[in-house]
Structure 1
């Protein structure tokens, strides 16, 4: 039976924090870090209330609300800075090496992302190995932590839950819904949060040890 690994992309494979901070610095200068923190207070609510919106629209609206909260006045063009630059955000140094090792080990690879498919496809061009299945919000009209990414992937890939591990850096958007959906997950704790065990099968600081860890998890249930 094929063994699948699905990934969140931005934050897990792509350095979203540096990408967003650099983009915001181009319109907000030294206020970029504070604006980013404010942005993340607004994005989940925008997604929940507008599941049919494109992610580019979500980015702009969330940034607009964050700017208002910070007393900043950004133009329409400036509000699009995140969507415009997203495909250029850098890969983490361990991404290509790890994906290639997983592919060489025989795993099938998927991405479940809260993003527009055209933007994600541009990002994937920077990967050294192909991705077998992509599920995006723009295709299904839903944003994680809702479960539709997981149910759509299960149906599309025809995968058994025992042959699937989800890998992600967001406890809220990925680990908790994966646990609710009944699949195992590996939490990539790049942000050094204080989450511990329970809902995730493993917690790693980065992707370096992922191939060995997922092989051990699968072996434990074979």
Structure 2
């Protein structure tokens, strides 16, 4: 059995992993549900750099209460906070000399509040609205690896969504660990951590 390549970068999912929305209002979800084809609408809002009003125009949603949705969006964005252990974990990873990135599926307005919350400057970002692909599409992982200038096998992906952050990352060749804050028993053959501090044990 060949030894695992040394880890040169750690990539985190954003929501549910690094940050949480404390006051959920679901403005984009409500916009998507107002369309004739919600699946297509979700793809549009998550893979194009659109604000809420621009997304409504792109989707032809002329009857939705935009003012109400925009107010709810502002509430959500202002309620975004880091999980308690994030700053400590990122600082420890940085002290090891490793690169740090984010690979996340999200609509455009949510990116800036995430970056603003972080006390540690990161080395690369792959936002779905920027790269044009949703995890677990391989192109999403390719983008962040190229952004960080590391090979997939040298990269550890950490996130709370099994399909997008673990299975998809593994299929592209990344190392991966599943974050499950719930305390449930881990799934067989799925390396699981309960808090981001435990990421350090995998480096």
Q: TM-score, normalised by structure 1?
A: 0.68
User: Which of the numbers 129, 132, 139 marks the counterpart of 1:138?
Assistant: 129
Match of 2:15 in 1: 10
Give unmatched runs, 5+ long, in structure 2. Answer: 1-5, 57-62
What are the superposed Cα offsets for residues 81-127 of structure 1, whole Å, 9 maximum, x if unpaired?
56433364111111111111111122110001113566423322222
- On the 8 A contact 2:87/2:118 being kept in 1, the answer is yes
Cα RMSD, aligned residues only? 3.3
User: Which of the numbers 80, 83, 90 marks the counterpart of 2:70?
Assistant: 80
1:90-169 equivalence runs, <5 A: 90-116=81-107, 119-169=110-160
Greater relative contact order structure (CA < 8 Å, 6+ sep): 2
Q: Between Structure 1 and Structure 2, how many residues are aligned?
A: 183
Match of 1:204 in 2: 193
What are the superposed Cα offsets for residues 1-45 of structure 1, whole Å, 9 maximum, x if unpaired?
7710000011100023x342xx46xx9xxxxxxx9xx9xxx9877
Which piece of structure 1 moves more, 139-148 or 105-114? 139-148
- On the 8 A contact 2:80/2:113 being kept in 1, the answer is no
- On the 8 A contact 2:45/2:107 being kept in 1, the answer is no
Structure 1: which 4+ aligned runs deviate by more than 6 Å?
A: 42-45
- On the 8 A contact 2:46/2:107 being kept in 1, the answer is no
Q: Distance in 1 between matches of 2:86 and 2:14?
A: 10
Cα distance 1:46–1:214, how it changes in 2: closer, same or farther (>3 A)? farther
Cα distance 1:171–1:46, how it changes in 2: closer, same or farther (>3 A)? farther
Q: Distance in 2 between matches of 1:91 and 1:43?
A: 30
Match of 1:47 in 2: 42
Q: Distance in 1 between matches of 2:72 and 2:181?
A: 21
Q: Distance in 1 between matches of 2:131 and 2:180?
A: 27
